[in-house]
């Protein structure tokens, strides 16, 4: 009702817009790439227009589409973020338990890196698209499998993912505001925080998001999620962002922006993660309003559409920005104009890459200490170990940890383990041996049984 008509946002000034954009692009090249031009510099692509306020503009894709040059022409020109529509999901990445397949995801990541795009990871844990073997698990066996899956997948892509959808769609639809029933939920209400803690240890540089749909305004479901995020922030559970999928129909809730803002006010980034909008008279204006809402919220760091063109959408109602022939639609122009015309606040910088490895090794000879924090449940645990250098830098470290009888290590990340039971030595791997004076690094391991209780010893080299 409050929407404008579909043609309202369509510019009739495109030729002039393009000329301005070329001039703006030249000016940008001539200056430093780190300084954003004025917000109304009329960039001619979505990625350039979004970058004016430090935001990304992304699309979901499948690796097979990268063989289609009509597709990649649009993808590379318009988008600077990519998310795997399906190929990083549990069924795709771990089709048999402990057998991993990263082929599709690796292809997408390589394409992104080659074309200056960041990568959203979707999704580590979800009640849907589980491989058959996981669907048949329950209790601690499922919990351990989940932790192992997160470690292996987030560990594989470590340092290459801007934001991970750690948990997807865990809240129920309807008015309850509670959790959705699922095999994961039945392992205990703490499964979501275990997933986030595990993901943090596996890839400390990725932003960790909770992602859901039907959260396009202030409603019972979004409020349930809001309460969870507030609780996580108050207890130090590592959550950095909330994804609003935004699979939209022919209307948009009037409090769409206010809802984003209330989450941002909790101290997390917000992202529009799977945007698509039903075709029809309101399509362009809804796209425009969503874009303007993101721009108006300083911590809304980017927008992703769930596909590039209508031909490949999971929906049949032509919900994307490019038509089946790859032509720009009215909705495209409304988004581009919104990105160009709104002088939105610049979001705070987010970490997108691990810190560079220093090329000159620091002098060694220092001492180190180690401390363990445990996340345990009935039958299993995740241990996060912090290694801290003393007053002098160190070149390498070994942490010795005594495990209780009956406990077995089933996975280790960011360290090399000497064994899986009894007293185990965990030594640095290639990228985390060097610690500057007073600095620290973390590694982790998971196991069955109960976690270690004594103080570990740390030996530096
Ligand atoms: O349902 C729309 C999205 C809602 N939020 C989470 C997203 O992950 C989800 O994406 C959709 C994909 O767009 C579909 O392409 O998720 C579906 C389920 O994973 C995807 O569909 C599946 C088909 O159901 C399978 O039959 C097919 O094997 O795609 C698979 C791979 O092509």
DSSP, residue by residue, 284-325: HHHHHHHHHHHHHSTTEEEEEES-SBGGG-SSSS--SSB-TT
128: left (phi over 0), alpha (psi -120 to 50) or beta: beta
Q: What is the mean pLDDT of residues 313-333?
A: 98
- 154: CB partners within 8 A, 6+ apart: 121, 124, 161, 164, 198, 199, 202, 203, 206
Is residue 165 within 6 Å of ligand 1 at its C-beta? no
Per-residue pLDDT tens over the stretch 155-190: 999 999 999 999 999 999 999 999 999 999 999 999
Which single residue is written with the structure tokens 């909790």? 266
Tell me, in angstroms, the distance from the centre of ligand 1 to residue 307's CA.
Answer: 11
Q: pLDDT value at position 356?
A: 37
Q: Is 417 helix (H, G, I), strand (E, B) or coil?
A: strand
| Strand-by-strand arrangement of the 440-448 sheet | 368-377, 380-389, 440-448, 408-413
Whether residue 390 is predicted with pLDDT greater than 50 in this model: the reply is yes
Q: pLDDT value at position 41?
A: 58
Per-residue pLDDT tens over the stretch 242-270: 999 999 999 999 999 999 999 999 999 99
Is-cis flag, bond preceding 123, omega within 30? yes
* Closest CA to ligand 1's atom 26: 129
Q: Is 350 helix (H, G, I), strand (E, B) or coil?
A: coil
* Closest CA to ligand 1's atom 29: 86
| Helix (H), strand (E) at residue 329 | none
**Helix, strand, coil tally for the chain in percent (to 5):** 30, 25, 45
| Helix (H), strand (E) at residue 125 | strand 118-126
Is residue 274 within 6 Å of ligand 1 at its C-beta? yes
pTM for this entry? 0.73
CA-307 nearest atom, ligand 1 = 13
Tell me, in angstroms, the distance from the centre of ligand 1 to residue 112's CA.
Answer: 21
* Residues 321, 32: Cα–Cα separation, whole Å: 31
H helical segments located in 207-275: 220-235, 256-264
| Beta pairing class for 408-413 and 440-448 | antiparallel
Q: Which has the higher per-residue pLDDT, 250 or 447?
A: 250
The mean of the pLDDT values for the chain is 87
* Residues 125, 120: Cα–Cα separation, whole Å: 14
Taking alpha carbons only, the member of 17, 55, 39, 84 closest to residue 302 is: 55
Tell me, in angstroms, the distance from the centre of ligand 1 to residue 314's CA.
Answer: 7
Whether residue 354 is predicted with pLDDT greater than 50 in this model: the reply is no
User: Catalytic: 274?
Assistant: yes
CA-168 nearest atom, ligand 1 = 6
Q: Which of 171-185, 344-358, 414-428 has the lowest mean pLDDT?
A: 344-358
CA-314 nearest atom, ligand 1 = 13
Whether residue 136 is predicted with pLDDT greater than 50 in this model: the reply is yes
Whether residue 326 is predicted with pLDDT greater than 70 in this model: the reply is yes
Is residue 129 within 6 Å of ligand 1 at its C-beta? yes
Q: Which of 185-199, 321-335, 382-396 has the lowest mean pLDDT?
A: 382-396
User: Catalytic: 87?
Assistant: no
* Residues 93, 63: Cα–Cα separation, whole Å: 14
* Residues 240, 245: Cα–Cα separation, whole Å: 16
Q: What are phi and psi of 118, to 5 degrees?
A: -90, 170
Is residue 264 within 8 Å of 297, Cβ to Cβ?
yes
Distances (CA, A) of 439 to 158, 352, 391: 21, 21, 9
Catalytic one of 87, 274, 279, 442 = 274
Tell me, in angstroms, the distance from the centre of ligand 1 to residue 178's CA.
Answer: 24
* Closest CA to ligand 1's atom 17: 86
Residue 84 is encoded by which pair of tokens? 């795997």
Q: What is the mean pLDDT of residues 68-79?
A: 98
**Residue-wise over 64-97: b if at least 16 C-beta within 10 A, else e?**
ebbeeeebbebbbebbbbbbbbbbbbbbbbbeee
CA-129 nearest atom, ligand 1 = 19
Cα atoms in the Cβ-side hemisphere of radius 13 Å centred on 116: 10
Taking alpha carbons only, the member of 98, 266, 245, 261 closest to residue 165 is: 245
Which single residue is written with the structure tokens 């039958």? 379
- 13: CB partners within 8 A, 6+ apart: none
Q: pLDDT value at position 436?
A: 86
Distances (CA, A) of 81 to 45, 58, 75, 325, 428: 13, 4, 9, 22, 32
Is residue 286 within 8 Å of 39, Cβ to Cβ?
no
Is residue 431 within 6 Å of ligand 1 at its C-beta? no
Is residue 322 within 8 Å of 312, Cβ to Cβ?
no
* Residues 315, 156: Cα–Cα separation, whole Å: 31
């Amino acid at each position: 009702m409050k929407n404008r008509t579909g043609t309202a946002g369509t510019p009739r000034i495109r030729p002039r817009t393009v000329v301005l954009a070329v001039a703006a692009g030249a000016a940008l090249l001539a200056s430093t790439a780190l300084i954003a031009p004025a917000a109304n510099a009329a960039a001619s692509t979505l990625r350039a227009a979004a970058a004016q306020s430090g935001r990304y503009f992304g699309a979901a894709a499948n690796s097979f589409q990268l063989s289609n040059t009509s597709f990649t022409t649009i993808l590379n020109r318009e988008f600077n973020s990519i998310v795997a529509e399906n190929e990083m999901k549990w069924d795709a990445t771990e089709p048999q338990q402990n057998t991993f397949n990263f082929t599709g995801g690796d292809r997408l990541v390589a394409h992104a890196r080659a074309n200056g795009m960041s990568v959203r990871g979707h999704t580590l844990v979800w009640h849907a698209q589980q491989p058959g073997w996981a669907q048949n698990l329950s209790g601690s066996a499922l919990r351990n499998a989940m932790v192992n899956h997160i470690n292996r997948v987030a560990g594989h892509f470590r340092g290459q993912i801007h934001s991970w959808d750690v948990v997807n769609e865990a809240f129920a639809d309807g008015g309850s505001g509670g959790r959705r029933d699922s095999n994961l939920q039945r392992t205990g209400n703490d499964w979501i925080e275990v997933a986030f803690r595990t993901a943090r240890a596996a890839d400390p540089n990725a932003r960790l998001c909770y992602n859901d749909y039907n959260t396009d305004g202030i409603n019972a479901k979004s409020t349930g999620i809001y309460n969870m995020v507030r609780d996580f922030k108050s207890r130090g559970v590592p959550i950095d962002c909330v994804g609003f999928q935004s699979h939209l129909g022919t209307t948009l809730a009037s409090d769409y922006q206010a809802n984003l803002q209330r989450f941002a006010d909790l101290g997390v980034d917000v992202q529009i993660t799977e945007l698509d909008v039903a075709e029809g008279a309101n399509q362009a204006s809804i796209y425009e309003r969503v874009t303007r809402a993101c721009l108006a919220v300083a911590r809304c760091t980017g927008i992703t559409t769930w596909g590039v063109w209508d031909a490949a959408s999971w929906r049949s109602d032509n919900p994307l920005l490019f038509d089946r022939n790859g032509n720009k639609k009215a909705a495209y122009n409304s988004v581009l104009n919104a990105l160009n015309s709104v002088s939105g606040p610049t979001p705070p910088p987010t970490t997108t890459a691990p810190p560079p490895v220093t090329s000159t090794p620091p002098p060694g000879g220092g001492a180190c200490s180690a401390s363990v924090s445990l996340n345990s449940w009935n039958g299993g645990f995740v241990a996060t170990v912090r290694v801290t250098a003393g007053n002098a830098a160190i070149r390498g470290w070994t942490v010795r940890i005594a495990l209780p009888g009956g406990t077995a290590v089933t996975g280790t990340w960011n360290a090399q383990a000497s064994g899986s039971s009894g007293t185990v030595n965990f030594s640095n791997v290639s990228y985390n041996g060097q610690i500057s004076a007073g600095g620290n690094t973390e590694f982790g391991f998971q196991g069955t049984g109960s976690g270690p209780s004594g103080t570990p010893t740390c030996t530096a080299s």
